[in-house]
Amino acid sequence: MAQLQFNARQTLVISRITMLVAALAMIATIVMAYPLAERFSLGVQITAHLLLPVAAGLFKLGYVVRLAAHHTLGNYSAG
């Protein structure tokens, strides 16, 4: 079994990517659920509404992991 080593710089990059993907997902779900709702089926609208808080949760998780990586690197003013 391979051992996983905590690498703060890699974790910082992954957390930033997670935040970017989650932000794009939030924008996409907001657009599908609200201004362009008439162009999508009811099932897609429901899915968009359900995925919005999921994307927000992933964004928050990415932010917390980003803060932990900054803390590990000694950057206590990140936030």
pLDDT in tens, 21-79: 999 999 999 999 999 999 999 999 999 999 999 999 999 999 999 999 999 888 888 87
User: Domains in the chain: how many in total?
Assistant: 1
User: Is the residue at 77 inside a domain?
Assistant: no
Is 68 inside a domain boundary?
Answer: yes
Q: How far apart, in whole angstroms, are the C-alpha atoms of residue 27 and residue 30?
A: 5
CA dist., res. 44 & res. 58, Å (int) = 20
State the pTM of this model.
0.86
Do residues 17 and 61 lie in contact, with contact meaning Cβ atoms separated by under 8 Å?
no
Tell me, yes or no, whether 58 lies in a domain: yes
* 44: in domain: yes
Per the domain annotation, does 2 fall within a domain? no
Distance CA 54, CA 37 (A): 19
How many whole angstroms from its chain centre is CA 48? 15
By residue range, what is the domain housing residue 59? Answer: 8-72
